[in-house]
A and B are shown apart, each in its own frame.
Chain A
């Protein structure tokens, strides 16, 4: 009797070990994207665009064609690929500093154009790679190396809700926020990513999945503590749900 294989490395994921910190959710989301690419049979058609930030080496971990973009410009780079090669499936993977600070113009306009690309947006409220500076999504009162006494609205302003902001536009076909911190949350995250890729396949236009993520290193918490923080502090500021879902 031969044993049936029920779990294996996705073909879209390379064999290079992740260099992310212990407990970081980047590797979980990378794997989900790879699973979706496998399940939809897109490995030979996909071009990924990685950000500047902790996921800068994502091209090492993926087995599809990959482009490393300048900080914040992934949606513009993805636009260039998709417009020249409409049959490719193009995704960007971006953090909060990349997408919601330096790259605000690029993501807003890619969404407004209804650019037929997929964006996975990792929101962990900090600049992890550069050492824990304040991000556009850092919570009020949350400490960072550049707001050492906690984010103060009078001087640092308020966190940006990207999904709600982009949902005001007519261009996007799908905008959702998920949190892969529970078994149900993991399932919803995978389903949202799959839908965002499926929409592109169907030519529906721009899709974005915001993943509430963590940073045990810069938050100075254990991985388990980061999940409680997301549950108690982050989700009230960034509510989960589907903000746009156009047929």
Chain B
């Protein structure tokens, strides 16, 4: 049984978290994510959990560190500048191998920027963000239902790998209202946490720390963490494909940018252009192998982002020169429109056509370029 209801993305994140057993939220106000702490303040006490507005993002992430150390499912949320402030704490959480969920409703930047949607925090999300060798298990919802289910999944992943997980969304995903069928019960998998600092209660003491003064000991921890990421790369890759089967050109986009690309793909299809969409859902681990396959099949790729090119680097690493990887991006809160993308698709298809014609002429005249 489930009920269909209209909901904002930010509210769906809150409901997904609580359904997954999140019982602690620590945050600080920043637009465009304010509905998350506000719904948390209203709903968390009813779920028997803790809501606390911290004095800063720095304090909030360190409260999350303490609450995660105490063995609870906990989260914080913020938007770009606030996520920057949390980075030291996130590094400690990753190094101490604690599970926690961090939500970034991205806004225009750098600096104070603005409150419009952007995707310029991709590097920060998937490459670590803070100091040291660590990664965040990063999921990118493109709809309100995905806000709910991917947030719930993020808690399972964080527990499974004892590593912080991130929901990377943006102002559009957070603010838009869509129908969602909220399940009455949600299957989640919360493992026992014998390592938690809960008071000793008849066992030897537990210590949560990321201090390893001997380099060999620190490297050993780093190798253990890297092994988890290797395992996650085998098991936790998630993506979606639309119309890729016969596509010569495949757009690659995530989150709300993928939504807009979907409309552009429909427009291009109505003009007879063989265009498809590939949407990474897990940004780390990245769907490298599938992109490699698409490249092997001779499909050209066009990466579209609300940034000046971040995910495109991972796509180029994945295909490693096997196919052409184009890029189109807008930034600072500017959102590309479907017709703007259609123009990009058309001009790229024309360029390919022209090149093929020239290639045909060249081969007739025996001249090789």
Q: A residues bordering B, Cβ < 8 Å? A: 43-47, 49, 56-57, 59, 62-70, 73, 76-81, 83-85, 87-89, 105-106, 108-109
Contacts and interface: CB of A to CB of B under 8 A. Distances in A.
Contact of A46 (B23, B199, B211): B199
Interface in B188-210: 197-202, 205-210
A65 B67 contact: no
Contacts of A59: 207, 209
Given A73-B62, A84-B72, A106-B58, 16 more contacts: A45-B201, A56-B211, A64-B205, A65-B199, A66-B197, A67-B69, A68-B96, A68-B210, A73-B89, A76-B65, A79-B63, A80-B63, A80-B68, A84-B74, A106-B59, A109-B59
Interface stretch (B48-56, B234-242, B334-342): B48-56
Which among A56, A68, A105, A109 has the greatest number of chain B C-beta atoms within 10 A?
A68
Contacts of B65: 67, 69-70, 73, 76-77, 80
A76 B206 CA distance: 19
Nearest to A46: B199
A105 B205 contact: no
Interface in B59-92: 59-60, 62-72, 74, 88-89, 92
B200 A64 contact: yes
Contacts of A67: 65-66, 69, 197, 207-209
Nearest to B54: A76
A24 to B, nearest CB: 19
A77 B96 CA distance: 13
A195 to B, nearest CB: 21
B52 A79 contact: yes
B360 to A, nearest CB: 63
A83 B64 CA distance: 11
A39 B69 CA distance: 26
Contacts of A87: 199
B95 to A, nearest CB: 10
Nearest to A49: B66
A87 B70 CA distance: 12
A108 B60 CA distance: 14
Contacts of B69: 67, 77, 80-81
Nearest to B196: A65
Interface size class of B (residues with CB under 8 A): 35 or more
Interface of B: 23-24, 26, 50, 52, 54-56, 58-60, 62-72, 74, 88-89, 92, 96, 197-202, 205-211
Contacts, number: 132
Contacts of B207: 59, 65-68
Given A77-B66, A80-B62, A70 B92 contact: yes
Given A69-B62, A80-B24, A105-B59, A88 B198 contact: yes
A80 B64 contact: yes
The 7 residue pairs across chains A and B that have the minimum distance between CB atoms? A80-B66, A68-B209, A76-B62, A80-B67, A77-B66, A73-B62, A80-B63
A69 B211 CA distance: 10
A81 B200 contact: no
A88 B199 contact: yes
Given A59-B207, A84-B24, A105-B55, A79 B199 contact: no
18 contacts: A44-B201, A45-B199, A63-B200, A65-B205, A66-B205, A66-B209, A67-B208, A68-B208, A68-B210, A68-B211, A73-B65, A77-B62, A80-B70, A81-B66, A81-B197, A84-B66, A84-B70, A85-B199
A36 to B, nearest CB: 16
A67 B201 CA distance: 16
A44 B63 contact: no
Contacts of B88: 70
Contacts of B199: 44-47, 64-65, 85, 87-89
